[in-house]
Amino acid sequence: MPEEQEVIDLQPATPKDILGAGHTFNTVTDQIANVVLTGKMPLLWYGAIAAGMGLLGLFGLVITLLMAKGVGIWGIRIPVGWGWAITNFVWWIGIGHAGTLISAILLLLNQQWRNSINRFAEAMTLFAVACAGMFPLLHMGRPWIFYWMFPYPNAMGIQPQFRSPLVWDVFAVSTYATVSLLFWYVGLLPDLGTMRDGAKNRAQQLIYGVLSMGWRGSAKHWSIWETACLLLAGLATPLVLSVHTVVSFDFTIAIVPGWHSTFFPPYFVAGAIYSGFAMVLVLAIPLRSAFHLKGLITDKHLDNCGKVMLATGLIVAYAYLLETFTAWYSGNVYEQQAFWNRMTGPYAGYYWFLLTCNIAAPQALWFKRIRQSPVWLFAWSVIVLIGMWLERFVIIVSSLAQDFLPSSWGIFQFTRWDLATFVGTLGLFTFLFFCFVRVLPMISMNEVRMLTPQAKVEREETHVE
């Protein structure tokens, strides 16, 4: 490969790059299925489950206290009515974007390197959306009346305000979650059939038999399955762009200085993919090490994920520059003051730290040695996740704390319950994800088998016939 192409080459990888040597249909099936069927989990799994359950208990305690005392236990006060809860909502929704991107868009683009990481990335999407959905419900203060956001028949004839982007959020996120769940489950069907046939335990045979919905692996089943996957991929692709676009409307439609910007939709989408791929790497790197999957999740996968992170990080950096330039060029004194306050005001430390995390640090991804080093790539991914959380925090809190009238300015101070709520959702995500790893194949067996030399020979024989 020429030296100048090492960073920018995103051509479809060959099976030699994305699958370890010596793999056949049987070895791929055994390595992935045995993780679930044998029940032998590494120490990482037990540690993650224990940590997840502990933090999940903390989350239950916070919710109980929140229901008893109200959202006042958080640090939200006028003028900052949105605090950590909405920051965490936007952050979690962003993380959920990478799964659909890997599954749908890369499938339509025939990028074969997605085959080894799409399954757990899709699961990551579902659990991230579940965590994200907790925050608007809890922020309502009365989550048991969430159905008021839907146009249900009622005697008073009161309906949601459909001109509000907060209502759009409900429909966008619920649609995204539904399509993502369907895409994930349909993709699982062939593997569930394989798990059913390979299970030794009667209970496992029954459970996987029911979940596989009578999958027989016939030519008709494969034809219907491939068509369904393509249709769902086509349906899911615009959702990647639309969901975080709608989330950005929560801010850009408002007249608050620092929010009222027309480029927020593409800016938010790029940032979502940026943080989403960072989370994919944070999960993939420990999994490939603990479960000995380096022949399935290879250095090429890490390299390509690093390239996507670098590309979306540059888009985010451009958005930061454009945001500041627009405020200056507009001549709007309120916009100019909002950005000056970000740089020099009470939240300046957060602002400069997020620039370091999101712009300066990821420039190391230009180097192939960093992109193919699991340790360094894991560290850089964690840095990006921290930076993207800080970005949402600064956008939300700094703009609300210092708006048009200096007389109404205030400072947001988070409480231990803000922190406990966020950490609790990390526990919820960890617990759900590692439960998934235990009971379902984390890598798509049928799609990885298509990368083996054996599959290539069979395709050539079929073509000749």
Residue 309 has pLDDT above 80, yes or no: yes
Q: Which of 180-194, 415-429, 446-460 has the lowest mean pLDDT?
A: 446-460
The first and second tokens of residue 353, run together, are 């730290």
Give the span between the Cα atoms of 101 and 122, in whole angstroms: 9
What's the residue count for the chain? 465
pLDDT of amino acid 461: 53
pLDDT of amino acid 5: 37
pLDDT of amino acid 191: 92
Omega before 42 within 30 of 0, i.e. cis: no
Give the span between the Cα atoms of 381 and 172, in whole angstroms: 27
Burial class (CB in 10 A: 0-12, 13-18, 19+), 412: buried
The correct CATH number of 3-142+159-464 out of 1.20.1630.10, 1.10.3210.10, 3.90.1150.10, 3.30.470.20 is 1.20.1630.10
Contacts (Cβ under 8 Å, ≥6 apart) of 392: 87, 90, 91, 94
User: Residue 213's closest CA among 184, 192, 187, 182?
Assistant: 192
Give the span between the Cα atoms of 74 and 77, in whole angstroms: 9
The first and second tokens of residue 22, run together, are 């010596």
Q: What share of the chain is helix, strand, coil (3-state, %, to 5)?
A: 75, 0, 25
Mean pLDDT of 112-118: 88
Residue 141 has pLDDT above 90, yes or no: no
How is the chain split into domains, by residue range?
3-142+159-464
321-330, long-range: CB < 8 A, 24+ apart: 322/263, 323/261, 323/263, 323/267, 326/261, 326/263
Residue 15 has pLDDT above 70, yes or no: no
Q: Please report, for the chain, how many H helices and E strands are present, in that order.
A: 20, 0
Q: How many C-beta atoms surround the C-beta of residue 57 within 10 A? A: 12
Band of the pLDDT at 432, cuts 50, 70, 90?
very high
Partnered with residue 284 across adjacent β-strands are: none
The whole-angstrom distance between residue 84's C-alpha and the CA centroid of its chain comes to: 18
Mean of all residue pLDDT scores within the chain: 87
Tell me if 417 sits within 8 A of 62, measured CB to CB. yes
Tell me if 79 sits within 8 A of 408, measured CB to CB. yes
Please provide residue 115's backbone torsions phi and psi, each rounded to the nearest 5 degrees: -60, -30
Band of the pLDDT at 458, cuts 50, 70, 90?
low
The first and second tokens of residue 177, run together, are 């979650």
- Please measure the distance between the N-terminal and C-terminal CA atoms of the chain and give it in whole angstroms: 36
pLDDT of amino acid 62: 93
The first and second tokens of residue 94, run together, are 């962003």
The first and second tokens of residue 126, run together, are 């579902």
Q: In the chain, what percentage of residues exceed pLDDT 90?
A: 42
pLDDT of amino acid 2: 42
Tell me if 326 sits within 8 A of 261, measured CB to CB. yes
Band of the pLDDT at 236, cuts 50, 70, 90?
confident
Mean pLDDT of 72-93: 90
Give the span between the Cα atoms of 187 and 446, in whole angstroms: 9
The whole-angstrom distance between residue 444's C-alpha and the CA centroid of its chain comes to: 18
- Per-residue pLDDT of 342-357, as tens digits, reads 999 899 999 999 999 9
Residue 405 has pLDDT above 90, yes or no: no
User: Residue 132's closest CA among 276, 312, 25?
Assistant: 276
pLDDT of amino acid 16: 55
- Per-residue pLDDT of 272-303, as tens digits, reads 989 999 999 999 999 999 998 888 998 889 99
Band of the pLDDT at 46, cuts 50, 70, 90?
very high
pLDDT of amino acid 351: 93
Residue bearing tokens 């993919």: 273
Residue 410 has pLDDT above 60, yes or no: yes
Give the span between the Cα atoms of 10 and 104, in whole angstroms: 17
Band of the pLDDT at 464, cuts 50, 70, 90?
very low
